[in-house]
Chain A
Amino acid sequence: MSEAAAGDQLPPLLTLSGIVKRYGQTVALADGALRCEAGTIHAVMGENGAGKSTLIKIISGVVSPTEGEMRLDGRPVRFKGPGDAQAQGIVCVFQELSLLPDLSVADNICITAPPRRFGLIDRAAQIAQARRLLALVGCEAIDPRERVRDLPLSRRQMVEIAKALGRKPRLLILDEATSALTADDVARVVTLLKRLRREGMAILYISHRMHEIRELADRCSVFANGRHVQTFEAGARSEDEIVRMMIGRELSQMFPPKPALPPGGAPVLETRDLAWETRLRGISLSVAPGEILGLGGLDGQGQREFLLALFGCLSGVTGEIRIDGVPSEFASPRQAMGEPQRLALIPEDRKTEGLMLPMTVAENITAATLSRWRRGPLLNNAAEREAVDEIVRRMQIKAVVDLPVSTLSGGNQQKVAIGKWLLAGPRVMLLCDPTRGIDVGTKQEIYRLLRELAAAGTAILLYTTDYDELIGVCDRVAIFYAGRITRLLTGDGITEAAIIAGALDIGADQKEQAA
C-alpha cells in the first residue's frame, strides 16, 4: 500500500504485544499481538474460540488484559471502560446489536452524547445528525424517527454502523458486522469502508467471509487457540494455507472407536424442508438408529434452532418431521418427549435451561420423568430414590443427591442434566454443545456414553462448536451455513479442513466465481 509510506514516520495507531487474558483457570487469550495503522483495513481471522472476540473486547475497553502492553500512538494506554476507549477514538461495532429496540433510530444513533439546547435534548438537531450519518453509510432511506424494533435486522446493523461513525472513530472495529447484512447492504459497507480508508481511518475487520476479506483487507492476521499465528499482506497466502493456520493443533486420542453402522437401517428421524423465520431455511436430514450425526459450522448458523424446532420449542416451524416414517408435530417438549417418539434435548445452557440449580440432585434427575415415580397421587419415594441411585451409578456422578445441584462441579452438573434424560429412555437424543466448559475427563465419559447409547439404537444429533468432537465422535457431519446445510461429510471425509472450508462456505464461493 502506498499509504504505508506515511506510517513509517509516525508510530502505528495501535500496537498490542504479549496480551494475555485469563478468566480464573481459563485462558481466553494466550498471546495477542496486533498492529493497526491509519489508512489500512486489517482483517482478523480464526475459528470459534481462537481468541478474536477477547482481543476485540480488550482493544475496545470492554475487558482489561491480565498481562501485556497496548500502545496508542506510541504511548502505553490502559482503558478504564468502553467509554474511555471511545473517547480516544476506538469504536467497535459488535456482532450482538447494542441498539435499544424501543427507541427511535435517531435516539439510538445519538445515545451517548445527544445534542442539547437549554439542557434538554434537541430533537431537531438530533434528527439532522442522524440523517447525516445515515447518508454517510448510504442508508438515506431509513427514517430517523422510526423505531429500531420495526427495522429488519440488516437495516439495524447499518444503523449500528452509523452510530459508531457518529463517535468519530480513528480506529473502527467491525466484529462480524456483515454477517447479518443483505447483499445490498454488504456492498454499501464495502464502499463505505474503502472511502474511510482513503480518509485515513484504521479499520479492524473481523469476518468469516473469505470473499469480503479478499476484497477489502490490506493485511491479515490469523489467530488460533488464543495465539497470534501470523500476519501477512493480503494475497500473500492461499486460502488453504489460511485454513491450515487456523487449525494449528493435533487431534488427541480421546474418542471411542466408531463402529460400522449396520447397513439399511430405516431412519428414526427425518426432516424435510424444515424452516423457521429467517434462521432455518429448509433443512432436510435423516438419522439412522445407532448413528451420531454432528451439526457443524460456525456458531449461530441455525444449528440450535434446528434442535429446538425438533423438540417442539419453536412456534411457526414449517416443513415436515417424521419419526419412524410417521409425520409428527410437536407443540411442546412434553409432546416431543412423549410416546412413541421419545425425544430428549440436552439444552445449551445447563445453568438456566438444563437444571433447576437450587433444587437437589435427586429432584433434578427425576424432573423429566416425575409421573413415573408415583403411588396413587403421591410420589413413591423408594422408587424415585432407586432411579436416582441408578443414574448416579451409571453416570458416575460425584455428589450427595440431597444437596442442591448448584454445589456440583460443571462436569457433574452436566452429567445430571444428561442423566435426567437417560431415565426417559429416549429414541432420539438432541445435544446442544454438551461439553462446553467441561473438564477433559468428563468429556471423555460423555463421548463414551454417547457411543453406548448409539450402540443401543438411539439416534443422536450433536451440535458442537468443537471441531475435534465433530471429527472424533460423529458418523456424519452436516455443516450449517446461514440456516442451510451446505455440506454433508461422511467417514474419512470428516476432516478439520473440510469442516472449516464448509463453515466458511469457501467451496460455494469458488463455485459462484466460476459460474
Chain B
Amino acid sequence: MSGAGPGLAMRPPGGAGGAGAARSMLRRLDPPLLVASACIVAILLGGSLYNSLFLSPHYLVQQLQVASFLGIVAAGAMLVILLGHIDLSVPWTLTAGAMLATGLAGSSLGGLAAIPIAVAVGAAIGLVNGLGVAFLRIPSMIFTLGVNAVLQGLMVLYTGGSAPPSSAVPVVRWLAGGRVLPGIPNAILVWALVGVFMILLLRATPFGRTVYAIGNRERAAYLSGMPVKRVVCLSFMLAGSASALAGLLLTGYAGKAFQGMGDTYLLPAIAAVVLGGTSIVGGRGSYAGTIIGTILIVLLQSMLAVMQMPDAGRQIIYGVVIFSMLLLYGRSRSGQA
C-alpha cells in the first residue's frame, strides 16, 4: 500500500548526527502510525477475500483520488488541531470556496481565476476565524461554529436571487479528473503537492516549529517571544484555504458546486487527523500520519459501501472502528510515557 511509504520515509530534518537521528527516527514511528497502517492492510486483505476487485490498481487509484479531497481538508484541520484549536467552519468554508470560485470564474473571468479565487475566499474566512480566536480570545470551537452558520446564510443569499453559474470550469475538471501522468488523476498530484508543502512547513520552517510550541504550551511559547497571535491567524488562514481548495477540486470531480457539498467532510477530516496520530489537544503529530489516517477513513467508507451494508450498520461499524482505534492509541501512549 502506498500509504505506508511516506510514514517510513519521513525523517525529521532536525535529526542530524548519528545516534540522535536514529533515536529520533524511532520516536517518529509511533504506534498510531503502525496501527493505522496495519489497519489499512487488514481492510484491503479482508476486502479481497470478499471480492478480489479490492486489490485491483484501478480501485486503489480511484480511492486515492477520493482520498485526495479529504486529505487536503485534513491538512488544514490538522494545522489548527496542532495548535490546540479546532476549525468547525470546514463545511461551509469548503462550499463557499467552491461556489464563489465557480460562480465568479464561470461568469466573468477565465476559468484559471477559479483557483486563486477559491484560495483567497478560504484565506479570508480563515482570517476571520483567526482574528476571533487569537485576538478576541473566543474559544475556537464556538467561534468557528458561528462562522460556519454565518457562511451558510451568506451562501443562501448569494444563490437566492440570480442563480450564479455552478457548473465546474474546465480547468478545474482537468485538475480533479484529468491525467498528466498516465493512469493517475491529477487530484492525487495536487494532494501530493499539498503534502510536500505541509511536511516542509511543519518540519523545516520556524512557522512549523512555532505551531508545535503553541500546541504544547502556549504560555511558554508566548514568553519565548514567539509571534503566537500571528501564527494562530496564519494557521486558520491556511486551513480555510485548504478547505476551499478541496471544495474547488470537488466541483471538478462532481461536475458542479452545490449547497451542502461540505457537510460530509468535517468529521471525517478530524477523524483522519486523530487516527493519524495527531493529539487532539495539540502539539504532536505529523502530516504523514494524517495521510495514513485519510486513506484509512476513505477505504473504510468505501468498503462498507461496496459490501452493501445497510446504512445503520455502516454508521455503527464506522464509529466503532474509530473509537476502538483511539482507545488503542491512548493505551500505547500512556505506556510510552
Q: B-contacting residues of A (Cβ < 8 Å)?
A: 311, 313, 332-334, 336-338, 345, 347, 352-360, 362-363, 367-368, 370-371, 373-374, 377-379, 381-382, 384-385, 400-403, 420
Residue from the list A370, A385, A400 in contact with B23, Cβ < 8 A: A400
Residues of A within 8 A of B19 (CB): 400
B223 contacts A345, CB within 8 Å?
A: yes
In whole angstroms, what is the CA distance A363 to B226 when docked? 13
A-B contact number at CB 8 A? 97
Contact A313 B16 (CB under 8 A): no
Query: Given contacts A345-B223, A356-B221, A370-B206, could you give 17 more A-B pairs where the C-beta distance is less than 8 Å?
Result: A333-B222, A355-B220, A356-B212, A356-B220, A359-B213, A360-B24, A362-B14, A363-B213, A370-B209, A370-B226, A373-B206, A378-B205, A379-B205, A381-B16, A384-B14, A402-B23, A403-B23
Query: B6-44 vs A: 1/0 string, CB under 8 Å?
Result: 000000011111011101100000000000000000000
Interface membership of B200, Cβ < 8 A: yes
Name B189-240 residues within 8 Å CB distance of A.
200, 204-206, 209-210, 212-213, 216-217, 219-227
Chain B residues, CB < 8 A from A332: 222, 225
CB-CB < 8 A to A357: which residues of B?
A: 216-217
Shortest Cβ distance from A359 into B: residue: B216
- A402–B226 touching, CB < 8 Å: no
A383: shortest Cβ distance to chain B, in Å? 11
Q: How far is the CB of B298 from chain A (nearest CB, A)?
A: 30
Residue of A nearest to B212 (CB): A359
- Structural contact, A353 and B223, CB atoms closer than 8 A: yes
List the B side residues contacting A354 at CB < 8 Å.
220, 223
Q: How many residues does chain B have at the interface if contact means C-beta atoms less than 8 Å apart?
A: 31
The 29 listed contacts between A and B (C-beta, < 8 Å) are A313-B222, A333-B224, A334-B225, A337-B225, A352-B217, A356-B213, A356-B221, A357-B216, A357-B217, A358-B284, A359-B212, A359-B283, A362-B14, A367-B213, A370-B206, A370-B226, A373-B206, A374-B206, A379-B13, A379-B204, A381-B13, A381-B14, A381-B16, A382-B16, A400-B19, A400-B20, A402-B20, A402-B21, A402-B23
Q: Quick check: B205 and A401 within 8 Å, CB to CB?
A: no
Highest count of chain A CB atoms <10 Å: which of B14, B204, B212, B220? B220
CB neighbours (8 Å) of B283 from chain A are 356, 358-359
| Cross-chain contact of B15 among A338, A367, A370, A402 (Cβ < 8 A) | A402
Task: Evaluate contact between B217 and A356: CB separation under 8 angstroms.
Answer: yes
Contacts from B to A (Cβ < 8 Å): 13-17, 19-21, 23-24, 200, 204-206, 209-210, 212-213, 216-217, 219-227, 283-284
Do B24 and A402 touch across chains, with their CB atoms under 8 A apart? yes
How far, in Å, is B88 (CB) from chain A's closest CB?
A: 26
Nearest 10 CB-CB pairings of A with B? A356-B216, A402-B20, A370-B206, A337-B225, A367-B224, A368-B224, A334-B225, A402-B24, A378-B204, A333-B225
CA distance A338 to B220 in the complex (A): 17
Enumerate chain A residues within 8 angstroms of B13, measured Cβ to Cβ: 379, 381
Q: In the complex, A355 Cα to B17 Cα: how many Å? A: 24
Question: Within 8 Å CB of B209, what residues of A?
Answer: 363, 367, 370, 379
Give the CA-CA distance A379 to B17 in the complex, in Å.
Answer: 16
Bound-complex Cα distance A360 to B284 (A): 12
Which chain B residues border A381 with CB–CB below 8 Å? 13-14, 16
* Min C-beta distance of A424 to chain B, whole Å: 8
Look across to chain A and name the residue whose beta carbon is closest to the beta carbon of B24: A402
Chain B residues within 8 Å of A338, by CB: 225
Q: Which residues of A contact B15 (CB under 8 A)?
A: 402
Q: Please, how many angstroms separate the alpha-carbon atoms of A389 and B234 in the complex?
A: 32
**Which residues of the other chain, A, contact B14 by a CB distance below 8 angstroms?**
360, 362-363, 379, 381, 384, 402
Closest chain-B Cβ to A509's Cβ sits at a distance in Å of 38
Q: How far is the CA of A357 from the CA of B220 in the complex (A)?
A: 10
The residue in chain B whose Cβ has the minimal distance to the Cβ of A356 is B216
Contact B206 A379 (CB under 8 A): yes
Q: Are A352 and B16 in contact (CB under 8 A)?
A: no
Contact (Cβ within 8 A) A352 B219: yes
Question: Bound complex: CA of A420 vs CA of B225, how far in Å?
Answer: 11
Cβ distance B229 to chain A, nearest Cβ, rounded Å = 9
B199 → chain A, closest Cβ, in Å?
A: 12
Cα distance A359–B226 in the bound complex, in angstroms? 15
Q: Which residues of B contact A385 (CB under 8 A)?
A: 16-17
B residues near A378, Cβ cutoff 8 Å: 200, 204-205
* Contacting pair B223 A401 (CB below 8 A): no
Q: Which residues on the B side are within 8 Å of A384 (C-beta)?
A: 14
Supposing A385-B16, A402-B20 touch, asked if A367 and B226 sit within 8 A by C-beta, the answer is yes
C-alpha gap A403/B15 in the complex (Å): 11
Q: With A356-B221, A358-B216 known to touch, is A334 a contact of B204 (CB < 8 Å)?
A: no
B222 nearest CB neighbor, chain A only: A333
Partner of A355, one of B20, B217, B225: B217
Name the residue among B13, B206, B226, B283 with the largest chain A CB count within 10 angstroms. B206
Whether A401 pairs with B206 at a CB distance below 8 angstroms is no
Contact indicator B210/A370 (Cβ below 8 Å)? yes
Flag if B24 contacts A334 (CB, 8 Å): no
B221 touches A371 (CB 8 A): no
The answer for the CA separation of A169 and B283 in the assembled complex, in Å, is 48
Complex: A352 Cα to B24 Cα, angstroms: 24
Closest-CB distance, A360 to chain B (whole angstroms) = 8
Which residues of chain B have C-beta atoms less than 8 A from A362's C-beta? Answer: 14
Residues of B within 8 A of A355 (CB): 217, 220
**In the complex, what's the smallest C-beta–C-beta distance from A376 to chain B, in angstroms?**
10
Residues of A within 8 A of B17 (CB): 385
Q: Which residues of B contact A370 (CB under 8 A)?
A: 206, 209-210, 226
Interface centre among B213, B216, B223 (most CB of A within 10 A): B223
Chain A residues whose CB sits within 8 angstroms of the CB of B223 once the complex forms: 311, 313, 333, 345, 347, 353-354
CA distance A385 to B13 in the complex (A): 11
Q: What is the chain B residue whose CB lies nearest that of A333?
A: B225
How close is B13's CB to chain A, nearest CB, in angstroms?
Answer: 6
Contact partners of B222 in chain A: CB under 8 A? 313, 332-333
Distance of A356 Cα from B222 Cα, bound (Å): 11
- Identify the interface centre among B15, B17, B204, B217: most chain A CB within 10 Å of its CB: B217
Q: Measured between C-beta atoms, what is the minimum distance from B189 to chain A in Å?
A: 23
Q: Say how far A313's CB is from chain B's closest CB, in angstroms.
A: 7
The CB with the most chain A CB atoms within 10 A, among B21, B23, B216, B221, is that of B216
